[in-house]
Structure 1
Amino acid sequence: MKHLLNLLAAVALLVWGTHLVRTGVLRVFGGNLRRYLQRSLGNRFSAALAGIGVTALVQSSTATSLMTSSFVGQGLITLPAALAVMRGADVGTALMAVLFSTDLSWLSPLFIFTGVVLSVTRPESTGGRVGRVLIGLGLMLLALELVVQATGPLFDSEAMRAVIQSITSDLLLEITLGAALAVLAYSSLAVVLLVAAMAASAVVPLDVALGLVLGANLGSGILAVLTTAKASVAVRQVTVGNLLFKMLGVAVAAPFLGLWLRHLQPHVGGPTQLVVFFHLAFNIASSLLFIGLTAPVARLCMRLLPQPAAAAALGRPRHLDPSALSTPSLAISNAAREALHQADVVESMLIGTLTVIRTNDLRLAEELRKMDDTVDQLYSDIKYYLTKISREALGEEESKRWTDIISFTINMEQVGDIIERVITDIEDKKIKPHRNFSDAGMAEIVELHERLVANLRLGMSVFLNGNVRDAQKLLEEKARFRDLERAYANTHLSRLMDRAAPSMETSSLHIDLISDLKRINSHICSIAYPILDSAGALAPSRLRASQLLPQDDHP
């Protein structure tokens, strides 16, 4: 029992080390890796090379699959290009397995010691996050040693030998077991390294080890499909296509396991090298043989998973992909895109409000009020999605972006509430009593409304791009809008003094309306504050020092 617990602990440590490396690399380089992937998709060969590089860094073809799938879901790349990336991603995982199979035990204490020092002394810096990666690498190397030490005594027992013997004559069972282990461990790399260590300890025969390796490769494809099960159709097409390639590769390679053992075993150093080099050869051969089939397989995936004909409902979240939560930089990007979708709905409400004022369209007014429910629901969905992102895995820039998205969605939700109230006032105070604004009053409302729509669009651009100059312009518009609202309030009072009948009938509505438009503009312009604050362009206080009261003058 003790030996079994030692083995389970070693396997758990191996999986945890892999997890630390993957999340640590994504936290430090996640945004850069996504940009590198996107720039390298000009043709299928450069895409495959990009997949090798990214997967070698994050040590997870599943993580690469999720990043690539998101690009397809956003319409940034085609499905065949994404499948080419995945051909390279499998080779990247195999290369890392070869690297870790070498004798790197001397690096384990060095990596762990250096990583802990960096993490403790500089926890919030890039150095601290690199330290987390080093700890993960050190734990992986340590875990491999522990696996070798634990497997010997455990598999000397007659019961375990009987279990091993039961699967030696069934290749399909070996592949199934390897796939199940990869899904449970959330890492085909960890399973391949485990199998190599067990083969080195003569715990499993070499033919069984190779069958388990084929199963681990298949399991990584199944894992990606399960992870994206609730994602959009475009995302699922990538993972299903990747799984089809893996199934085809396993079907082609399975009959040749005996040839590999017979002809290459004499030329390979030992069981560990035989297993990891088989893993590498299998993935290189699969990539070279099948990379020309990316387009046909993409067409097959499109037939198996066709895009829905009807457009998505307005209030349905379009970009909140649950499978991206394991890649925080990707999840942050998805949340930002959904926040812009929420802003698009607010813009539609704002534009429709002027139409209601001009045409007295009660049906449109009702539709606009229902759109506020959509804005509120999107706000709740985005907020809930963001809370599921691991804050520990976010870098400093991503944490700031997380806060900016929350702030933006809150402002859009409040703008939607104000617009709903404005529409209700228009119905009650203008449409139902059959009143109209004066020509001058209507012209003032139209001008304020046009400025408001322009400011909203500028605010969306500031949120998306973080341009400091645009943020300054948006804040300047806040002051101009405030001055304009005061001026129009005064001109309205002048019309009241002249006893203009339309102005007197709609006086209360007119004053409330331009005041509400100013409040909407204030919420829109507040988008600029985080950008300007980060750039150091905000003054500590808006009050002039000469206008402050002396301390002794306070009552």
Structure 2
Amino acid sequence: MKHLLNLLAAVALLVWGTHMVRTGVLRVFGANLRNLLARSMGNRVSAVLSGIGVTALVQSSTATSLMTSSFVGQGLITLPSALAVMRGADVGTAMMSVLFATDLSWLSPLLIFVGVVLFITRQDSTPGRIGRVLIGLGVMLLALRLVVEATEPLVESAVIRTLLGSMTSDIFLELLMGAVLAVMAYSSLAIVLLIAAMASSGAVPLEVALGLALGANLGSGLVAVLTTAKSSVEVRQVTVGNMLFKVMGVALALPCIGLWMRHVRPLIGDGASNVVLFHLAFNIFNTLFFLGMTNMVARWVCVLLPKPAPGAGNPLRPRHLDASALATPSLAISCAAREALHQADVVEAMLIGMHKVLVNDDLKLSAELRQLDDTVDELYSAIKYYMTKISRAELDEKEGQRWTEVISFTINMEQIGDLIERVLQDIETKKIKKGRQFSAAGMQEINDLHARLLDNLRLAMSVFLTGNVRDAQKLLEEKARFRDLELAYSASHLARLSDKTVPSIETSSLHIDLISELKRINSLLCSVAYPILETAGALAPSRLRETPLPQRD
């Protein structure tokens, strides 16, 4: 019993070490890795090479699959290119298994020591996150040695030998067990290393170990499919296509296990080396053989998972909050930012519709627009809930600032939606139902303010998206100009009241409230510029004069 517990603890340590390395690398290099993938889609060869490189760093083909799937979901890359990346990702994780299967136990204490020192002394910085990666690497190497030590006493048990011997005649059971273990561990790399270590100690017959390794490959594809099960169709197409490649590859590789045992095993000898090299050979073959079929498999997947017809479903529901992206904080923040722009598009539709209601006295359109405010509120709630799933402790300074910007932007859009709804209610009550009209001059002033407000909304969306300092400065200049116009138009309205202009007298309350609300909306839009200008050092500390005002007698 003690030896079994030692083995389970060693396996858990191996899985945890793999998790630490994967999450640590994504936290430090996540944005750069995404940029590397996005720039490497020119052809299939470069896509495969980028998949190998990214997966070698992340040490998880599943993580690469989720990043690539999110790109397809955002329309940044095509499905065939994504499938080519996944061919390289499988080769990358197989190469890492070969590296870890070599005797690197001497390196484990050094990696753990250096990693702990960096993590403790610089925990919230990039060196601290790199220290976490080093700790994970050291723990993986330590766990592999512990697995070998823990399995040696178990091999001597007659019961264990009988149980393992009964598996040699059931290849499908081996595939199932390998797949289940990979799903449970969320890592085919950890399971392949575990299988290699147990084959090295003799705990598992080599022929069984090769079958388990093929099952682990299926399991890694299944993990990605399950993780993206609730994502958009475009995202699921990548993981399902990758799974099809794995299934076809395993079907072709099964008859080769016997050939490997007869012709290759005598040349290698060591059980662990046989497992990892068979794993690498399988993935290289799977990539080279099927690389030319990415377009064909992409068509199959599109038939299995067709995209919804344009206009199908509710176009106003959250579109970009991909749950699979939460494993990569920088990617999740990008998804939330895109959803915030979707929310702003709904606000823009409300703002345009508000002017039509004002001009045409359209009560039906007004009711529809007020219902859109519920959509703005729902999008705000969805974005806020999604953002709370991103741990602030895992973000660097730049990502933390972007997190705050996204939340602030969505709050402002929600408040603007509420203001537009209130303006619509006032228009219905004070203008449409009473049959009143603005004076020609008053209507022209409102038209001017509305046009400027619409332009400022679009400029604010651009500033939020790009972070351009010059556009942010222009947005604040528009705030001052809008304030001056609001004061000027209020004065003009009061002058018309003095001249006893009847339409101005009848709509006075609505006119003053309307231009005041438009100014408030504009102020909320312009607040997007403040964090960008503050970061660039382009904001003054205060608008107050530094010299004190003279005292009154």
CA distance in 2, matches of 1:548, 1:512: 34
CA distance, structure 1, for counterparts of residue 375 and residue 550 of structure 2: 47
Distance 1:274 1:548 in 2: 85
* Structure-1 residue corresponding to 2:372: 371
Distance of aligned partners of 1:101 and 1:480 in 2 relative to their CA distance in 1, 3 Å threshold: same
Who is 1:520 aligned against? Answer: 521
Distance 1:279 1:4 in 2: 26
Paired letter, 2:246: K
Name the SS of the counterpart of 1:545 in structure 2.
Answer: coil
Residue 113 (structure 2) aligns with: 113
Partner SS, residue 68 of structure 1: helix
Shift of 1:3: 1.4
Cα distance in 2 between the residues matched to 1:278 and 1:51 = 20
In the TM superposition, residue 538 of structure 1 has moved relative to its aligned partner by 1.7
Cα–Cα, structure 1 residues 205 and 549, in superposed 2: closer, same or farther, change >3 Å?
farther
The CA deviation at 1:549 is 8.0
The count of aligned residue pairs is 551
Q: Say if 2:447 is the partner of 1:446.
A: yes
CA contact (8 A) 2:7 2:146 kept: yes
1:312-323 correspondence to structure 2 within 5 Å = 312-323=313-324
1:474 aligns with 2:475: yes
Mapped contact 1:23–1:393 kept (Cα < 8 A):
no
Partner residue in 2 for 1:241? 241
Deviations 1:493-541 (A, max 9, x none): 0110111000000000000000000000010000111111111222222
SS at match of 2:500: coil
User: What is aligned with 2:180?
Assistant: 180
Counterparts of 1:51-450 in structure 2, within 5 Å, are 51-311=51-311, 312-450=313-451
8 Å contact from structure 2 (residues 21, 133) kept in 1: yes
Partner Cα distance (2:315, 2:249) in 1: 42
Structure 2 distance, partners of 1:20, 1:399, is 21
Deviates more, 1:315-324 or 1:342-351: 315-324
Q: Provide the rounded CA distance (Å) in 2 between the counterparts of 1:306 and 1:42.
A: 25
1:177-205 CA-to-partner distances (Å, cap 9, x unmatched) read: 00000000000000000000000100000
* 1:259-279 per-position Cα deviation (integer Å, ceiling 9, x unaligned): 111111122151111111111
1:118, 1:131 within 8 Å by CA — same for their partners in 2? Answer: yes
Deviation at 1:214, TM superposition (A): 0.2
Once the two structures are overlaid, the 10-residue window that deviates more, 316-325 or 421-430, is: 316-325
- Which residue in the other structure is 1:50 paired with? 50
Distance 1:338 1:127 in 2: 32
Structure 2 segments unaligned to the other structure (5+ residues) = none
CA spacing shift, 1:546–1:224, aligned 2, 3 Å: same
Give CA deviations for 1:79-130 in whole Å, capped at 9, x if unaligned: 1111111000000000000111111111111111111111111112111111
CA contact (8 A) 1:112 1:139 kept: yes
Which residue is equivalent to 2:18? 18
Contact persistence 1:441–1:503 (CA under 8 A): yes
Matched residue, 1:485: 486
Q: Where in structure 1 are there 5+ consecutive unaligned residues?
A: none
C-alpha deviation, 1:544, in angstroms: 1.3
Between 1:126-135 and 1:498-507, the stretch displaced more is 126-135
**Aligned counterparts of 2:251 and 2:279: Cα–Cα separation in 1:** 15
**CA distance in structure 2 between the aligned counterparts of 1:528 and 1:263, rounded to whole angstroms:** 68
Instruction: Say which is worse superposed, 157-166 or 247-256, in terms of deviation.
Output: 157-166
Cα distance in 2 between the residues matched to 1:425 and 1:547: 43
How far 1:45 sits from its partner (Å)?
1.2
Q: Residues of 1 paired with 2:118 and 2:550: CA distance?
A: 49
Q: Distance in 2 between matches of 1:223 and 1:44?
A: 24
Alpha-carbon deviations, 1:278-314, whole Å to 9, x = none? 1100000110000011111100000000111142423
**CA shift for structure 1 position 393:** 2.6
Whole-Å Cα distance in 1 between the matches of residues 412 and 527 of structure 2?
Answer: 8
Q: Deviations over 1:217-262 (max 9, x none)?
A: 0100111100000000011111000000000000000011011111
Alpha-carbon separation, structure 1, partners of 2:387 and 2:158: 51
The residue identity in structure 2 corresponding to 1:520 is: I
Task: Give the SS at the match of 1:168.
Answer: helix
8 Å contact 2:155–2:202 — kept in the other structure? no
Is the Cα contact below 8 Å between 2:3 and 2:154 reproduced in 1?
yes
> What secondary structure does 1:3 align onto?
helix
Q: CA deviation at 1:542?
A: 1.8
Q: Read off the aligned partner of 2:350 and give its amino acid letter.
A: M
1:395 CA drift (Å): 2.2
Is the Cα–Cα contact under 8 Å of residues 44 and 81 in structure 1 kept in the other structure? yes
Q: Percent identity?
A: 72
Instruction: Please give the alpha-carbon distance, in whole angstroms, between the structure 2 residues aligned to 1:375 and 1:394.
Output: 27
Measured after TM superposition, the shift of residue 157 of structure 1 is: 2.3
| Contact 1:111–1:134, Cα closer than 8 Å, also in 2 | yes
Cα distance in structure 2, aligned partners of 1:332 and 1:84 = 26
Residue matched to 2:4: 4
Contact 1:314-1:374 within 8 A present in 2 as well: no
- 8 Å contact from structure 1 (residues 98, 277) kept in 2: yes
Q: Distance in 2 between matches of 1:314 and 1:299?
A: 25
1:24/1:393 contact within 8 Å kept: no
The TM-score normalised by the length of structure 1 is 0.98
Which moves more between the two structures, 17-26 or 161-170? Answer: 161-170
Shift in CA distance, 521/377, structure 1 to aligned 2, threshold 3 Å: same
Looking at structure 1, the residues matched to 256 and 269 of structure 2 have their Cα atoms a distance apart, in angstroms, of 20
Tell me if structure 1 keeps the 8 A contact 2:346–2:376. Answer: yes
